[in-house]
């Protein structure tokens, strides 16, 4: 059976490496398609779904990829348990692989992404043109990074003096109450106890923190007491007191002045891992 045989397996159309007639081909360029794109899921331009490589031994190379070696992109996919597979091969080595990278349009070659995958090979770009194009792309990328990095302009120096520790405490108390609008006095009390617990355990580190904490607690406790008297006035005399409701821990937020290590101790980051970087070598769409 050969590539021209009408009864050839359908995958041979895109995988000439599977054809025993091609057993003597020394090197193959391969295109890997990832079932799920890697990268910024909210930004299609920040995603990569294809990888071009070249090898003398496709099976061995794919084993390496699945073990997380040889390509950061495929390692990220392997670690995320996302499947990937070779969708197409061409006889050729590094030079041909390079032209695919330079073409920078992997989906056009992919039989799973394109209804009519491109048949012609990408044009070989002379080395100096490639270098110039890469430099231009890097310069554009840097310019874009500078442009986006600039957006939050530094605020002009404020004439107002910084708020006092007491004012900070009251401001945080207002925020605390605003976020819990509609809560009962018991819920607020539980929430206050919750956010203050580590602070009470470890104490204030500075006089300023001590003052902020005192103002914070005073302000909230005052609001809770007011709310509680209101609730009691509203309640018909024969109705029993409502059961104390435990506030939901997730909704607690520590005040701004709570030292960082206290916050981290109490609220470990549920997503500490950095998202994987798309492989720049893949140059995929
Ligand atoms: Zn594809």
Per-residue b/e over 238-259, b at no fewer than 16 CB within 10 Å?
eeeeeeeeebeeeebbbbebbb
Give the Å distance between the CA of 44 and the centre of ligand 1.
14
Q: What is the mean pLDDT of residues 26-45?
A: 87
Closest CA relative to residue 280, chosen from 85, 38, 57:
38
147: three-class secondary structure by DSSP: helix
Could you tell me which residues come within 8 angstroms of residue 27 by beta carbon, excluding any fewer than 6 positions away?
Answer: 54, 55, 56, 91, 92, 93
Is 121 found in the same domain as 22?
Answer: yes
Asked if pLDDT for residue 250 goes beyond 50, the answer is no
Instruction: State if pTM tops 0.85.
Output: no
Q: Please tell me the predicted confidence (pLDDT) of residue 227.
A: 85
Is 102 found in the same domain as 193?
Answer: no
User: How is residue 226 written in tokens?
Assistant: 């007011």
Q: What is the pLDDT of residues 73-98, one digit of tens each?
A: 999 999 999 999 999 999 999 989 98
Mean pLDDT of all residues belonging to the chain: 79
Give the Å distance between the CA of 84 and the centre of ligand 1.
10
Give the Å distance between the CA of 48 and the centre of ligand 1.
10
30: three-class secondary structure by DSSP: strand
Q: What is the pLDDT of residues 142-157, one digit of tens each?
A: 888 887 775 545 555 5
Closest CA relative to residue 85, chosen from 59, 56, 105, 48:
59
What are the backbone angles phi and psi of residue 38, rounded to the nearest 5°?
-105, 145
Q: What's the number of domains the chain is made of?
A: 2
Closest CA relative to residue 107, chosen from 63, 47, 59:
47
Q: Please tell me the predicted confidence (pLDDT) of residue 53.
A: 96
Asked if pLDDT for residue 190 goes beyond 80, the answer is yes
Give the Å distance between the CA of 113 and the centre of ligand 1.
4
> Which of 132, 156, 186 is a domain's end point?
132
Please indicate, yes or no, if residue 149 is contained in any of the structural domains: no
Is 182 found in the same domain as 119?
Answer: no
User: Which pLDDT band, with edges at 50, 70 and 90, does 16 fall under?
Assistant: very high
Cα–Cα distance between 38 and 194 in angstroms, integer? 39
Q: What is the pLDDT of residues 104-143, one digit of tens each?
A: 788 999 999 998 999 888 876 666 677 777 888 888 888 8
Q: Please tell me the predicted confidence (pLDDT) of residue 246.
A: 45
Q: Please tell me the predicted confidence (pLDDT) of residue 181.
A: 83
Q: Please tell me the predicted confidence (pLDDT) of residue 33.
A: 96
Q: Please tell me the predicted confidence (pLDDT) of residue 248.
A: 47
Contact status, residue 71 vs residue 282, Cβ threshold 8 Å: yes
pLDDT higher for 63 or 3?
A: 63
Please indicate, yes or no, if residue 212 is contained in any of the structural domains: yes
Give the Å distance between the CA of 85 and the centre of ligand 1.
10
Asked if pLDDT for residue 273 goes beyond 70, the answer is no
Is 119 found in the same domain as 18?
Answer: yes
Cα–Cα distance between 86 and 112 in angstroms, integer? 11
Give the Å distance between the CA of 272 and the centre of ligand 1.
30
In the chain, % of residues over pLDDT 90: 25
Cα–Cα distance between 173 and 114 in angstroms, integer? 57
Q: Taking phi first (over 0 means left), then psi (-120 to 50 degrees means alpha), and beta for anything else, what does residue 63 get?
A: alpha
Please indicate, yes or no, if residue 145 is contained in any of the structural domains: no
Asked if pLDDT for residue 174 goes beyond 60, the answer is yes
Is 123 found in the same domain as 14?
Answer: yes
Q: What is the CA 241 to chain-centroid distance, rounded?
A: 46
Q: What is the CA 94 to chain-centroid distance, rounded?
A: 32
Q: What is the CA 28 to chain-centroid distance, rounded?
A: 34
Please indicate, yes or no, if residue 5 is contained in any of the structural domains: no
- Domain span at residue 103 reads 10-132
Give the Å distance between the CA of 1 and the centre of ligand 1.
27
Give the Å distance between the CA of 20 and the centre of ligand 1.
25
Cα–Cα distance between 249 and 253 in angstroms, integer? 9
Q: Please tell me the predicted confidence (pLDDT) of residue 22.
A: 92
Q: Please tell me the predicted confidence (pLDDT) of residue 31.
A: 97
Is 180 found in the same domain as 122?
Answer: no
Asked if pLDDT for residue 24 goes beyond 90, the answer is yes
Q: Residue written as tokens 């159309």?
A: 13
Asked if pLDDT for residue 103 goes beyond 70, the answer is yes
Is 128 found in the same domain as 14?
Answer: yes
Is 185 found in the same domain as 126?
Answer: no
Give the Å distance between the CA of 3 and the centre of ligand 1.
22
Q: Residue written as tokens 């970087």?
A: 277
């Amino acid at each position: 059976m050969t590539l021209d045989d009408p009864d050839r397996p359908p995958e041979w159309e895109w995988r000439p490496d599977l054809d025993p007639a091609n057993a003597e081909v020394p090197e193959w360029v391969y295109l890997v398609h990832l079932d799920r794109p890697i990268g910024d899921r909210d930004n299609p331009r920040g995603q990569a779904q294809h990888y071009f490589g070249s090898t003398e031994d496709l099976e061995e190379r794919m084993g390496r990829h699945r073990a997380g070696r040889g390509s950061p992109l495929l390692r990220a996919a392997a670690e995320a348990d996302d499947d990937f597979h070779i969708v197409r091969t061409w006889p050729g080595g590094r030079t041909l692989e390079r032209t695919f990278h330079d073409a920078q349009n992997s989906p056009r070659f992919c039989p799973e992404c394109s209804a009519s995958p491109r048949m012609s090979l990408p044009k070989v770009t002379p080395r100096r043109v490639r270098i110039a194009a890469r430099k231009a792309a890097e310069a554009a990328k840097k310019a874009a990074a500078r442009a986006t990095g600039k957006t939050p302009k530094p605020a002009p120096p404020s004439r107002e003096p910084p708020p006092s520790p007491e004012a900070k405490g009251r401001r945080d108390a207002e925020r605390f109450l605003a976020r819990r609008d509609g809560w009962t006095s018991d819920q607020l009390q539980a929430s206050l106890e919750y956010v203050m617990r580590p602070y009470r355990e470890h104490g204030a580190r500075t006089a300023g923190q001590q003052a902020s904490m005192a103002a914070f607690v005073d302000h909230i406790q005052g609001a809770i007491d007011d709310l509680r008297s209101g609730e009691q006035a509203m309640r018909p005399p024969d109705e029993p007191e409502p059961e104390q409701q435990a506030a939901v821990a997730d909704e607690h937020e520590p005040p701004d002045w709570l030292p960082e290590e206290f916050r981290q101790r109490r609220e470990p980051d549920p997503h500490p891992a950095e998202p994987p970087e798309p492989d720049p070598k893949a140059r995929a769409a």
